[in-house]
Every structure is written in C-alpha cells, then in structure tokens.
Structure 1
Amino acid sequence: MLLDEHHFNEASLKAAWRNATNQGIAASIIGNIRQAALAEALLPFEQRVAQAIQCIYVMQSWAPVQRRWLECLAK
C-alpha cells in the first residue's frame, strides 16, 4: 500500500525486477566469457578495485591529498 501511495504499481515493479534480473544474468554471462577468454579467475569487484588502487599507488609518489582522493574514488 505504501508503494501504491508513491505511484509504484505492481506492473512497473515487476518490470523493474525483470530488468534488474536480466542485467544480473547478462553480467554473469559476460563474466563467464571473460574468465574463459583470459583464463583467469573472476574476482569480486571490491578486490579488483583494491588491486587497481595498489597499482596506482606505486606509479608515483602521491601527495596526501591525492591519496585521499584516490581512496575516495576507490570507495
């Protein structure tokens, strides 16, 4: 009833759920194809970001303010 009050009807919610589910399925398929093509294990997003940020940190000496910005971007 609360959703109805805010103009979220059942049909639009079902469509949104279907769309989100389809996107999840597509992302999973793409991930599996990528894994097979690169012959490497799939990593969780957070782990990929952590590895990328470590690579960036060793590229050069970053000022403290720059490191804080990089940390914000990583989050």
Structure 2
Amino acid sequence: MKLAIEVVAIDTLMLRLFDQIEESNMPWLLAAAERLRDVFADKLLELVPSYTTLLVQYDLTQLDDQQARELIKQALTDLSP
C-alpha cells in the first residue's frame, strides 16, 4: 500500500492507496475506511471507498486542508487489515 493524496475539491481529498485493482486490496481499504471514520469523527461528511481509492469529504468549518491531511496520516499510520 502506498499513499498519494490528491485534491478533488475544496473540501475533498482522494486517497490513492493502490495502483491496480486486486482482491487483496479490500481488507486494507476496509481497515483504512474504519480508521478514517474514527479519526475524523464528526468532521467527516462523506467517505466513499473504491477498488484502489478512498474519497474523503470533510467539514470545512472544522478543518482546513492541512489539518485533514494530518488526520489522514494519523489514521493510516501502522494500519493493518
């Protein structure tokens, strides 16, 4: 798993975790989604998983881009499926 963060909108980031669609990605994506929900808590507006990515929309009234990126890094540190 390798993390690349892309800006999608002013309040939305795309987390690219894998380059290819593989069944072995799913446990990692599910674990990442769960951890992100926990870390962002009420600051998370939407979390949309895909085969290789997670779309994270956060509340701009509570977080800025840098704070959201820090929460993402915190959530994905030492992640295991």
Task: Give the TM-score normalised by structure 1.
Answer: 0.30
The answer to which structure has the higher strand fraction is: 2
Higher RCO structure, 1 or 2 (CA under 8 Å, sep 6+) = 2
Which structure: greater helix fraction?
1
